Amino acid sequence: MTYYTPPPRDPKASPVRINLLSDTQTRPTSGMREAIARAEVGDEQIGDDPTVNLLCERVADLLGKEAAVFLPSGTMCNVTATLVHCRPGDEILAHESAHIIAREGGAHAALGGFQITPLNGPDGQFSPATLRAALHPRSRYQPPQTVVSVEQTANIGGGTIWKKADLDEVVRIAKSNGMATHMDGARLLNACVATGISARDMAAGWDSAWIDFSKGLGAPVGAAIAGSRDFIDEVWRWKQRLGGSMRQAGICAAACVYALDHHVDRLAEDHANARALARGLSQIQGVEVQQPETNLVFFKPDGAGISGDDMVRGLRQRGVLLAMMDGRIRACTHLDVSAGMIEETVGLVREIVRGV
């Protein structure tokens, strides 16, 4: 299954004016750049960077954990977490479209020798019943089932939000079977803003959880993972082994602190723009749209007589950047996308459909 296809390169295409490819496409705001310039820094690797230390304290408190560590990427958060939770030959349970399966280059198998068993379910989520059915008795004939992982929100599932009750039940099942729990929280704060549930409550019961700063929060780089002090000590060991330890990383952490202060509540604007985009697209005959719960909009124009690839290509020629993912077009709203851009995008899709 192909989960992501980069937009085709076309020398005749207009310069990109509307970038809906991903919320990773955000650029630092002027306020964030000023915060970066003013950042107090030190040697992060020996615990001497005050801005990194502040960020880690903020994230640990936000997620209700004992400690946190700043890492260069969300992928490194996932990889270091499984390297701590598991031993070679262990089994991880996750949804079949989860980032740790679809988007991390086989890192968990290559670096840790772990087996990830895919669980199915609609919209990027497996049910507690599906989890129960995947469990097997402890036996020397089968790998130890060590970790249950969820992705909040479910990216390829359409940015869907795991219900708190389901998260709690997954934790209960995992714990009763001696398994650790890991939350890929790349867009966790989108879920929190959409539901009104705090990040602390959403991550309650999860042994490890992390948030990404380079998506909707608009920082240029970085993520932070939180858990118990012992867990974070071991994550630090893997951070060192993998070359993730940094020096004057406060210039990066300052952007993340600024994002926590200024860019969390405004995620609601991205959700509103996503709903507006879905509403406009659904009014175009032949366009099938998955109604968004957060900032991701998936749609298919096949019923209008045009393939997704051709639609993406046509929009790129008009200066609008989107991507094909899992056979559908994905549009992702973020702080660099305005309501006017959404309206223009809908108009351009309608124009392309009319020209078919």
* Confidence (pTM): 0.95
Domain 18-26+266-354 in CATH 3.50.50.60? The answer is no
10 pLDDT above the threshold of 80: no
Instruction: Pinpoint the residues of the chain covered by CATH 3.40.640.10.
Output: 39-262
Characterise 300 by phi-psi region: left (phi > 0), alpha (psi -120 to 50), beta (else).
beta
Per DSSP (E only), the strands in 26-171 are 67-71, 91-95, 115-119, 145-151
Tell me the mean pLDDT in the region 58-76.
Answer: 98
The CATH number of the domain covering residues in 39-262: 3.40.640.10
Model pLDDT for residues 319-338, shown as the tens digit of each residue = 999 999 989 999 999 999 99
What per-residue confidence (pLDDT) applies to 14?
80
How buried is 221 (Cβ within 10 angstroms: 0-12 exposed, 13-18 middle, 19+ buried)?
Answer: middle
From-to residues of CATH 3.90.1150.10 in the chain: 18-26+266-354
Report how far Cα 246 is from the mean position of its chain's Cα atoms.
23
